[in-house]
Structure 1
C-alpha cells in the first residue's frame, strides 16, 4: 500500500496519474485488497493545489469503478464451478448468499449502497452475475453507484485538502477517517435493519393449520 501511495504522489503532476487511478479502481472492483479509495482520497487532497486536476481525477475514478464492477459482474456470469466452490466456503458463501437474497428483493438500491462497502461490493457484483441479473440494468445502476462513489471520495479528499492546505497529509488522514466513519455507519444501519427483519419474521404468527374433519359415513 505504501508503495502504491508513493507512486501516486510522484505522479501528481503527470497525466499518468489518471491512468493509475483507473487501473486501481478497476482492480479494486474485483479484488478489494487494492487501496483504490486511499489513492483517490490522497490525490484529491492534493487537487486543491491544482495538481492533479479535480475533474479528470473524478472522471478516472468513475470510469475505473464502472469497469471494475462490470468486470466482476461478468466474472460471476462465467463463474460456474468457481461459484459452487465459493458457496462451500463459510465466509464467501455467506456473503454470496446475502447478496443474492438482497438483489432479488432490492436490486438497484443494493448495487448503489454496496459500492461503499468493499467486501459487500464485490460479493454483490459477482452475485449479480451468478444469478443472471439483467446486464443493462446492472450497468445502469453500476454507473450511478460509481458516480456517487467518485463524487464522495474526491469530495471528501478535497475538503480535507482545503481544511489543511499547508499540511495535506493531515487532510488525507481526515478524509480517510470520514470515509471509514460513513462506511461503518452504513454497515451498522444495514445490520440493524437485517436484525429487525429477522425479529419480525420470528414474531410473525404462522397461519393456522387446517384440522381434518371426519367425513360422516353414508347411511349414518
Structure 2
C-alpha cells in the first residue's frame, strides 16, 4: 500500500496519474485491498490545496475505473462458482453474501448504490448479482450511478479536507479519510440495526434470509370413495329406509 501511495504522490502532476486512478479503481472493485479510495481522496485534497490534479478528469477516471471493475466482478459472479463457495466457507463472507443476495432480490438499485460505500460489501454485492442472474443491463445502469456517486463523494471529501487545511494537504487527506471511514461505519451500523429489527419482527428467517411463504398443506386423507356413477361418498351415505322397502 505504501508503494502505491508513493507512486501516486510522484505522479500527481502528470497525466499518467489519471491512468493510475482508473486502474486502481478497477482493481479495487475486484480486490478490495487495493487503496483506490485513499488515492482518490488524496488527489482531491491536493486538487483543492495546490490546484492539481484537475478535478473533472479525476472524477471521470475514478468513475470509469469503478464502473469497469464492477462489471468485471458481476461477470466473475456469473462464471466463477468456486469463488462463491470459497466465500461461503468464511463466516463473514457467508454473512455478507446472504445480505447481498436478499437485498438484491428485494431492492436491487438501493443495494447496488449503497454497497459502493461499504468496504467489502461492494465486491460481495457485484459478485452475488452475477451469481443470482441479476439482469445485466439493469446492473450496469445502477452500477454506473453508484460509481459516479462514489467518485464525486471521494473527490469531494478530499477537497473538503484540502480546503480545511490549505497549507497542509496531508492533514486534509487524513480528515478526508476519517470522514470516509465514519460514513462507511455509519452505513454498516444502520444496516446491522435494520437486520436485527427485521429479525425480531419476523421478516427474516433463522438463516438471515427473507421468510418464504409456507407451501399449501397437502391433503393426506384418502380420496373419497365413488360409486359407479362417480358420486363421492355414496358408499358412506345411509340408505333411505322407505327406498329400501320399496326395492
Output the TM-score relative to the length of structure 2. Answer: 0.81
Matched residue, 1:20? 20
Q: Is the 8 A contact 2:77 2:126 kept in 1?
A: yes
- The alignment covers a number of residue pairs equal to 215
* Unmatched segments (≥5 aa) in structure 2: 205-213, 220-235, 240-247
| Residue deviations 1:12-41 (CA, integer Å, cap 9, x gap) | 110000000000010000010011110000
* Unmatched segments (≥5 aa) in structure 1: none
Pair 1:89 & 2:108 matched: no
Matched residue, 2:146? 145
Counterparts of residues 1-220 of structure 1 (less than 5 Å): 1-48=1-48, 49-201=50-202, 218-219=237-238
The list of structure 1 runs, each at least 4 consecutive aligned residues, that deviate by more than 3 angstroms after superposition, is 217-220
Pick closer, same or farther for the CA change 1:12–1:102 going to 2, 3 Å.
Answer: same
Residues of 1 paired with 2:86 and 2:109: CA distance?
A: 27
1:202 to partner: Cα distance? 7.3
Q: Is the 8 A contact 2:42 2:173 kept in 1?
A: yes
Q: Is the 8 A contact 2:119 2:184 kept in 1?
A: no
Residues of 2 paired with 1:169 and 1:21: CA distance?
A: 18
Compute the RMSD of aligned alpha carbons: 2.3
The more displaced of 80-89 and 54-63 is: 80-89
Residues of 2 paired with 1:85 and 1:177: CA distance?
A: 32
Residues of 2 paired with 1:107 and 1:139: CA distance?
A: 12
Residues of 1 paired with 2:203 and 2:144: CA distance?
A: 37
1:159 to partner: Cα distance? 0.8
Which one has the largest radius of gyration? 2
Normalized per residue, which structure has more helix? 1
